[in-house]
Amino acid sequence: MSGNKEAEEGLVLAPKFDADGLVTCIATDAATGELLMVAHMNAEALRRTVETGEAWYFSRSRKALWKKGESSGHSQRVTEMRVDCDQDAIWIKVEQQGPGACHTGRRSCFYRAVPLGQTGAVTLEFRDAEKTFNPADTYGKPG
């Protein structure tokens, strides 16, 4: 098989990391299917997630490996992991511990809708945006 064919039809996990050594990771709620967050994994985060069944990520801003929930307690137990055709994206279905996945205090990071059919500047609309926890309490710093 050619390189592409092997990546697409093969059974070897061979992630296609980008120039920064990362793949995109999509986390959805295992029970509801809701999209919770999009983050990144480096090889070590991926390895730890596979081995432990707990979600580990790599923070691009902090340039550091982090276990989801290490400061908030809102960890994610992975019930299923999948890889996409060209192996540059990982999908995990998770049991989200605690009230939410988003550092802003919401259950999901996707709490604003982009109305369609507009031209020019776009005004967002809050949707499913109620806060389920207070980030200031959870992270111990002003919100």
Footprint on this chain of a second copy (rule: CB under 8 A) = 8-13, 24, 26, 28, 33-35, 37-38, 50-51, 53, 78, 80-86, 89-91, 102-104, 106, 109-114, 116-119, 121-127
The residue written with tokens 């059974």 in the block is 11
Closer CB to a second copy, 61 or 140, in the complex: 61
Closer CB to a second copy, 45 or 78, in the complex: 78
Closer CB to a second copy, 65 or 84, in the complex: 84
The token duo for 54 is 């707990």
The token duo for 137 is 């309490």
Task: State the nearest-atom distance from the C-beta of 56 to a second copy, in Å.
Answer: 12
Q: d(Cα 37, Cα 28) in Å, to the nearest integer?
A: 7
Task: State the nearest-atom distance from the C-beta of 20 to a second copy, in Å.
Answer: 10
Residues 88/116, Cβ–Cβ less than 8 Å: no
Residues 78/93, Cβ–Cβ less than 8 Å: yes
Task: State the nearest-atom distance from the C-beta of 24 to a second copy, in Å.
Answer: 6
The residue written with tokens 């390895």 in the block is 47
**3-state DSSP call for residue 67?**
strand
Closer CB to a second copy, 64 or 122, in the complex: 122
CA-nearest of 20, 56, 53, 24 to 40 is 24
Task: State the nearest-atom distance from the C-beta of 53 to a second copy, in Å.
Answer: 5
